[in-house]
Amino acid sequence: MSATPEAKGRLTPGDILARKGGSPVVCLTAYTTPMAQLADASCDLVLVGDSLGMVLHGLPSTLGVTMEMMILHGRAVARGLNRACMVVDMPFGSYEEGPEQAFRNAARLMAETGCQAVKLEGGQHMEATIRFLVHRGIPVMGHVGLTPQSVNTLGGYKVQGRGEDGARVLADARAVAEAGAFSVVLEKLPGTLGAEITAALPIPTIGIGAGADCDGQILVVDDMLGQFAGFRPKFVRRYAELGNAAADAIAAYAADVRARQFPGPEHIFEGKAR
């Protein structure tokens, strides 16, 4: 049974697909109910990304994220959404073995979180798996370019698709589209390549560090809100500096407690004298 019933008016993968070449698709990650509620008011698509391993759990990469973690946070996000299409990342090791393994785990994610689609990384080598899932009723969002689950193979979080390598990334994106994905994330590519891929594909491209010509954009919400003072990727615009604000607030609280200025009279309950 789905974690939450399908909400009336909820955007679907088909709605996102229909936005190709139209109004840009606004996407953000979310990992908790309160953040999902905030994102739902403005976003078309909310991704429960495996980035939660690094953002919330302090892992050094996404490789240690488990199905159980994705389901836990997926359920939390589902409780906060009424409009946005919800997609959940398939974690490392949950789909690479083959189409059958991918189907079992994707079906579990959908059944236990109530999401409307899953996202998996990889291009040409994942074409058969994507096709297998789509033919069995599981909408898939693709992900090419920099694929964080392959960071060890790629040699780090480097820009992909420069020079002759652009042909490989384009071929990966084409394979994802031809397999039936309803959209594809393009991560950390030259802007010119992002524009070329967007023009070549019949499905929406969702950029994260792939230029302004993609059909939509996505960011990790904690990066966009400035939750981490020392982490500032080139492709992220900080729309707030909540990390600094939170640090200042905690320091002010600590100072008040040590000076016995908190709690004040307005924070204390009165009792009857005995």
User: CB-based burial of residue 228 (10 Å sphere; 0-12 exposed, 13-18 middle, 19+ buried)?
Assistant: middle
Maximum alpha-carbon separation in the chain? 84
Please state, in angstroms and rounded to a whole number, the distance separating the CA atoms of residues 238 and 181: 30
Q: Are 109 and 36 in contact (CB under 8 A)?
A: no
Active-site residue, from 6, 68, 178, 187: 187
Which residue spans within the chain are E strands per DSSP? Answer: 25-29, 45-48, 85-89, 117-119, 140-145, 183-187, 205-208, 216-219
* 23 marked ligand binding residue: no
Q: Are 3 and 113 in contact (CB under 8 A)?
A: yes
* 51 marked ligand binding residue: yes
Residue 187 designated active-site: yes
Strand partners, 183: 141
Q: Annotate 144-191 with DSSP letters as a single string.
A: EES-GGGHHHHTSS-----TTHHHHHHHHHHHHHHHT-SEEEEES--H
Q: Which of 4, 77, 2 is nearest to 40 (CA)?
A: 77
Q: How far is CA 166 from CA 86, 106, 146, 161, 213, in A?
A: 30, 30, 12, 4, 16
Please state, in angstroms and rounded to a whole number, the distance separating the CA atoms of residues 107 and 88: 11
* 119 marked ligand binding residue: yes
* 89 marked ligand binding residue: yes
Which amino acid does the sequence have at 92? Answer: F
DSSP state of 24: P
* 234 marked ligand binding residue: no
Binding site, annotated residues: 50-51, 89, 119, 121
Q: What amino acid positions are annotated as catalytic residues?
A: 187
Binding site, annotated residues for 3-methyl-2-oxobutanoate: 50-51, 89, 119
